[in-house]
Structure formats: C-alpha cells, structure tokens
Amino acid sequence: MRGDSVDKLVRIGFSEYEAKAYIALLGRSPVSGYELSKVSGVPRSMIYEVMGKLAARGAAMSLQTSEGIRYAPVAAGGFFDQLHRDHEELIDSLKQDLTALASVPDLEYVWNIEGQGPIMDKALEMIRQARTCIYLSLTPDDAGPVNQALEDAAARGVKVVVYTTRPMELQGAQVVVGPMSEEAASRVEGLGLILVIDEEQVLISESLAGVQARASWTSSPLLVFIAEHHLRTDPYLPKVLECLGGRASEIIREEDRELFARARERHIGG
C-alpha cells in the first residue's frame, strides 16, 4: 500500500524521497531528521534537503522544541484539498493562455487535393460553411453536384454569384454568362473551378487533358483576394477592350498586348 502511495505522489510531481518522507511523517510525528531518515529510508545526507522541499510544497512543518528541530506533516486532507485548488487554478489559467495563443492565425498553408471526387467534396464543404458570400466559376456540366448546395446557401441569405459559360437555373443565385472560346475549351477537360467563400477561403482546380484533376485550397488573405478579384473583374475586361477599340493599343504597353488579346477570348474559368 505504501509503495503504491509513493508511486502516486511521484506521478503528481513529488520526488521519490519526498514521497517516502511525507508518508513516513504521516505515520509518525513529530520526529527529528535522524529519526525520519531511519523510518522513511531517505539517506541521512538527503533528509534535510528533502524536508526543505516538503515545507516549500506546504506538505510539512518544522517545529523548534527543547530537544531541537522536529518535523510534522500537514494533514493529508487539508494539503491535498489545497493542492487540488491550486492545480485547478493553474489549469484554468493555462487553458485561457493557450486558447488565446490558438486564436492567432496559423501559417497560411496551401493544401493540394487530388481527384475530382475529393475536390468536389471540398467545394461542397466550403459552400455549406459559407455565411455571407460565394463566388464560383465553373461550367454548367460540372455544376450538378453543387447546384443544390448553392440554392440552399442562397436560401439562408448567402450572396451567390456563379460565373459560367451558358445560362443555368439556380434559384436565388446570380448567374453571369461568359462564353468560352474554342481554344480555351480545347485546353480544359473535366473539372475546372474557382470558388471563393466569405472572402476567407479559395479553392482552385484544373483538369487538363490526360491529367488527373487537382486543386489547391488556402485561406491566405492575399491569394483569396487575388482569386476573388479575378472572378469579379475578368468578365468585364473583354467589354472594356471593345469599348476602347483602337485606343487600347495606345493605353496597353506593347509587351502586354498579347496577354490582353488572349483575355478577350478567355472565359473567366477557362
């Protein structure tokens, strides 16, 4: 029984010698350091250091008597009640401190996702999490798995804007149509989407001919902003260029003209 109690005291932070001395004190006190060494098994050379540590823990007291210093324990009931309260306060304080640390944003990782199924699962998860707004670019052929989730989001008050290549029926959502050029369509086979929710998360996927669908997800504010900026402004670029007409060549630098020419033919998600 005594050995079991020693092990338990060691588990809560006592040294083995401290545990043995305290248990011995509970069975016999007041005692001198010499007597305590004999009954506890703590070496005489260590007993006074051990008693100093027990006193610092609040587990023992030293008494000055006519026969010299004697040692006595603090009653186990009172000592462990106090120890329990102290640990509760420490744990509560530590919990608050570490919870505050956890609220600091993590590093802005970019997670890679492979396969059309897992990509669509992630898209559905994001749509269901959305609280304020969803901006999504994809073709109508790819929209089937998310249609209901988009309508549900719109029904709960989330702003839903879908950029696609031909008209779609989505209750409560705004659909922006921008036809894809044949050149762009020939480069894409399978799932291709850009999804931004709540200005907090972005999922971008592509599936080129002969290559398994792959996607990247991140909550990086910079990458989320770039993706949303692309989704919300790119549809207007061809129209702006058309309005500029011949003046476009005066405004756009020569080295950028090819890029803008391609933009006129490119679908927002292609």
- In this predicted model, what pLDDT tens digit does every residue of 13-69 receive, in sequence order? 899 999 999 999 888 888 888 999 998 899 999 999 999 998 888 888 888 887 888
80-111 burial, b at 16+ Cβ within 10 Å, e below that, comes to eeeeeeeeeeeeeeeeeeeeeeeeeeeeeeee
Q: Is the peptide bond before 30 cis (omega within 30 degrees of 0)?
A: yes
Residue 12 has pLDDT above 70, yes or no: yes
Is residue 96 included in any domain, yes or no?
Answer: no
**22 and 120 housed in the same domain:** no
What's the average model confidence in pLDDT over 214-231?
89
More confident residue, 235 or 81: 81
What does the block give as tokens for 66? 């006519």
Predicted local confidence at residue 214, as pLDDT = 87
Task: Give strand pairing partners of 215.
Answer: 113, 205
**63 and 123 housed in the same domain:** no
Q: What are phi and psi of 186, to 5 degrees?
A: -70, -20
Q: What is the pLDDT of residues 75-92, one digit of tens each?
A: 888 888 888 888 898 888
Residue 125 has pLDDT above 90, yes or no: yes
**140 and 208 housed in the same domain:** yes
Is residue 143 included in any domain, yes or no?
Answer: yes
Q: Which domain holds residue 254?
A: 110-265
Is residue 190 included in any domain, yes or no?
Answer: yes
Predicted local confidence at residue 158, as pLDDT = 94
Q: What CATH number should be reported for the domain holding residue 150?
A: 3.30.870.10
More confident residue, 188 or 65: 65
Residue 198 has pLDDT above 90, yes or no: yes
Q: What CATH number should be reported for the domain holding residue 66?
A: 1.10.10.10
118-154 burial, b at 16+ Cβ within 10 Å, e below that, comes to ebbebbeebbeebeebbbbbbbbebbeebbebbebbb
**131 and 67 housed in the same domain:** no
The model carries a pTM of 0.53
**61 and 180 housed in the same domain:** no
**45 and 127 housed in the same domain:** no
**122 and 254 housed in the same domain:** yes
What is the chain's mean pLDDT, rounded?
Answer: 81
**167 and 68 housed in the same domain:** no
**117 and 224 housed in the same domain:** yes
Q: Tell me how many domains the chain contains.
A: 2
Region of poorest pLDDT, from 99-103, 107-111, 172-176: 99-103
**123 and 187 housed in the same domain:** yes
**144 and 210 housed in the same domain:** yes
